[in-house]
A = this chain, B = another copy of it.
């Protein structure tokens, strides 16, 4: 239970109308009942709101709340930012009391801050350090010598490998795996794939060989305020750590291979994959299913559209798209021309026939 005034305070905005309205939950305008707070931050919701039963709403700036039959409202200038503040205010978060659950297996050499919470059936390895206010929900594993900062939240089934460092306020969604071994193998002699890379094609004769493992002596360092999605994977570095910078958000099923260095305040959307040893700048946004080849440099403020496949260096500020990724405006031209390609092919055939007739040749 909360009042409209509570939400106005969270938003730092004045109440218009009755701030004492008592509300039970947030709801979409069409589904909102008289005890719900309708979230209607765009004029496109006006009709639904007028038809609905809501008495209180969050509205776009300049909205006429009285005309929509509301008893109270708060208007906001930037809808998604308001959404962040409202949802943060109304999310009760997980229920887990501080302390170590009796079913957890915590190595005696681990140092757990007194008000941290270690949930049921967690396993915490030797010499681990866990900071104040951090919560591990059920079934989390933390490997030897890992360090987890303050006020982190690790959801069920998160795996933190040995020697991993997490900053403060890091959130790991269920099943996120930080610190698996890097995928790094070598054959005694040059392999087919090395030959193919060198020659851009022919592998020639390839003697049968097996792969020898390159172990990961490095680990993973995650900055403050990073979020890592469900079942995402971040591998250890070979010698130095794989790194993810402060404030970067990583979505579900993202793969970050060994030795990648990711900057600050990036967004890596669902199923993005970075092969390894790439360097990504700050404020980079990679859309869903983007792929990044190994040893690529991506500058600051790059935006890559969904499913872009990046094989070459990307300069700062570039907006790219496609497979392979090129500048978005170039890609849009290419896609238009590609859709016309069957027609263009027919036109070329016609032209060749016409020119052959004109020149008396066969056009071949």
Which A residues are closer than 8 A to B by beta carbons? 25-28, 31, 39, 78, 80-81, 83-85, 87-88, 90-91, 94-95, 101, 103, 105, 119-121, 123, 125-126, 137-139, 141, 143-144, 155-157, 159, 161-162, 171, 173-175, 177, 180-181, 183-188, 191-193, 196, 200-203, 206, 208-217, 225, 227, 229-231, 233, 235, 238-240, 247, 249, 251-253, 255, 257, 265, 267, 269-271, 273, 275, 282-283, 285, 287-289, 291, 293, 301, 303, 306-307, 309, 311, 317, 319, 322-324, 326-330, 332-342, 344-345, 347-348, 351-352, 354-355, 357-359, 361
B141 and A156 contact, CB distance less than 8 A = yes
12 more contacts with CB within 8 A, not counting A83-B238, A354-B358, are A81-B186, A84-B185, A95-B126, A180-B229, A206-B283, A209-B265, A231-B253, A251-B255, A273-B289, A337-B341, A347-B348, A355-B355
Say whether chain A's binding surface is mostly helix, strand, loop, or mixed.
Answer: loop
CB pair A123–B138 under 8 Å, yes or no, is yes
Q: Report yes or no: A26 in contact with B80, Cβ–Cβ below 8 A.
A: no
- Please tell me if the beta carbons of B201 and A327 are within 8 angstroms of each other in the complex: yes
A174–B203 CB distance below 8 A: no
For the complex, give the distance between the alpha carbons of A251 and B230 in Å. 16
The chain B residue with its CB closest to the CB of A88 is B215
Residues of B within 8 A of A339 (CB): 326, 330, 334
Min CB gap A6→B, angstroms? 15
The answer to whether B306 touches A293, judged by C-beta atoms less than 8 angstroms apart, is yes
CB distance from A177 to the nearest CB of B (A): 4
- Docked Cα-Cα span, A251 to B25, in Å, equals 34
In the complex, are the beta carbons of A285 and B193 less than 8 A apart? yes
Which of chain B's residues have a CB closer than 8 A to the CB of A90? Answer: 215, 217
Q: What's the Cα separation between A348 and B213 when bound, in Å?
A: 50
Of all chain B residues, the one with the shortest Cβ separation from A346 is B337
Q: Which 10 A-B pairs have the closest CB atoms?
A: A87-B215, A180-B230, A91-B215, A141-B156, A80-B186, A159-B174, A123-B138, A173-B180, A333-B342, A233-B252
